[in-house]
Amino acid sequence: MNSLLQEQLSYDKTFDCVQCGYCLPACPTYETMERETHSPRGRINLVKMVAEGKASVEDLKEPIEKCLGCMACTTVCPTNVQYGEILESAKHVIDEHEGKSRPRKLVENFMFQRFFPSTAWMDSLGHATWLYQSSGLKKVSQRFGLTKRAPLHIHEFEAVLPEMPSPKRRKSRAGRYVRKRPATAKVAFFKGCIMDSVFYETNQNTMELLLRSGAEVVFPDQQTCCGALHAHSGKVDASVELAKRNIEAFEEESFDYIVNNAGGCGARLIEYPHLFEKGTDWHSRASAFAANVKDISEVLVDLDGLRFEQSVPRTVTYQPSCHLRNVQKVTDAPVALLEKVPGLTLKQMDRPEFCCGSAGIYNIVNYEEAMDVLDVKMQDVCGVDPDGIVTSNPGCLLQMKLGVVREGAGDRMEAVHLVDVLMEADPQPKT
């Protein structure tokens, strides 16, 4: 038996799994891929088999890469198996073993070696997209199907991107805003890479909601990517590095909340303490940081400072972000907010907790599998026939937009971020 491998693979944690199978009905990939190999119980067992030398790291690769990391399995597990840790350990071992499949390698090399290390990268993604859209390149390439030749189906996603703000507008954003004095709370805004680059307007709206709720909003300058994508790809060292930078960035002042509007980032931020050994200085700093991290919906409910003036006569369904629901355990706040919007009808779809298939970069590297999951999701969505799908994470938002297109429902349905729906209802300060 390989004891080094056992240590690297959270082998001990696999014994918490009693193989009861309770997680099977919750797992999207078990449903769409139709085999136990792609179920939580199967994956945990394989990790154990590899640690015991009965299978190779190579055998583990596909089942682990095809896991969405949605953590739905952890919410139903009666013995509280730490699947997240087992999964990350497996990814790390696979990454070290350098045996990833071609599309994943391609994307990762691009993202992690060229893109992410650059300090200005967050903005540059947005700038590049803006340039692409405003220069007319978008129309041209869409018309001639140029992007279709690009690998990894980027064109499918590109077609559903919102309009980007110009670099000038982006730059004009200040580092601190306050409208009400004294402010009811001091909030630090974690802007999120994808949110800030691709869904810039939604970030602006988030800030606006906080200001109208009476809060002071600060953008710590030195903040960086949350590291979720790195960790989900087995790049442990890089993700620890990013965590440290963020902890430092948000220590400059004391805040009542560190708010974010991306379920996936929030889930990572609250898990920072797990990256450091208990008892160390970094562990306590990470814990202090994580304790203040809150999703925008929770903060708005807490502050309770808004009145909604404008009726929004729509029928919507709420698609919770897996990481918001299953990791951050935020379930009620988004619904409570939507229920306050006058004129809005909220219809719950069947199995809202079923992942949409976006899952970080999953839908790019595992396009086919992600689309199978998305198609199941869209069936449940169409079951309640909404004109809006409300989400709380950029990845989900893009994926749901794509789902609407795939259903050919672009004329009757739209995917929107929770924050944007709230802004539509003309929120005004209560006092």
Q: Which parts of this chain interact with another protein (CB under 8 A)?
A: 15-16, 18-22, 24-25, 34-37, 39, 42, 45-46, 49, 54-56, 59-60, 62-63, 78-80
Indicate whether 373 belongs to the interface with ligand SF4 (CB under 6 A).
no
User: Do residues 155 and 144 make contact, with C-beta atoms less than 8 angstroms apart?
Assistant: no
Indicate whether 17 belongs to the interface with ligand SF4 (CB under 6 A).
yes
Q: Give the strands of the sheet with 345-346, arranged side by side.
A: 345-346, 315-318, 388-391, 414-417
Near ligand SF4 by CB under 6 A, which window of 40-48, 102-110, 313-321, 383-391?
40-48
Q: Bridge-partner residues for 391, per DSSP?
A: 417
Structure tokens at 323: 């990481």
**Other Cβ atoms within 10 Å of 178 Cβ, number:** 14
**Which CB atom, from 65 or from 216, has the smaller least distance to another protein?**
65
Q: Which does 59 bind (CB under 5 to 8 A by kind): ligand SF4, another protein, none?
A: another protein
Structure tokens at 194: 């994808």
User: Do residues 336 and 301 make contact, with C-beta atoms less than 8 angstroms apart?
Assistant: yes
Q: In angstroms, rounded to a whole number, what is the distance separating the alpha carbons of residues 346 and 277?
A: 44
Indicate whether 44 belongs to the interface with ligand SF4 (CB under 6 A).
yes
Indicate whether 23 belongs to the interface with ligand SF4 (CB under 6 A).
yes
Total chain residues near ligand SF4 (CB under 6 A) = 26
Q: Which does 235 bind (CB under 5 to 8 A by kind): another protein, ligand SF4, none?
A: none
**Which CB atom, from 14 or from 205, has the smaller least distance to another protein?**
14
User: Do residues 364 and 152 make contact, with C-beta atoms less than 8 angstroms apart?
Assistant: yes
**Which CB atom, from 30 or from 130, has the smaller least distance to ligand SF4?**
30
**Which CB atom, from 79 or from 315, has the smaller least distance to ligand SF4?**
79
CA distances from 73 to 47, 152, 180 (A): 16, 28, 44
**Other Cβ atoms within 10 Å of 15 Cβ, number:** 11
Residue 365 beta carbon to another protein: minimum distance, rounded to whole angstroms: 19
Q: In angstroms, rounded to a whole number, what is the distance separating the alpha carbons of residues 161 and 243?
A: 28
Residue 204 beta carbon to another protein: minimum distance, rounded to whole angstroms: 42
The 77-96 site mask, x for binding ligand SF4 (CB under 6 A), equals x-x-x-x-------------
The closest alpha carbon to 203, from 165, 161, 154, belongs to 165
Residues that bind ligand SF4 (CB under 6 A): 17-23, 26-29, 40-41, 43-44, 67-73, 77, 79, 81, 83
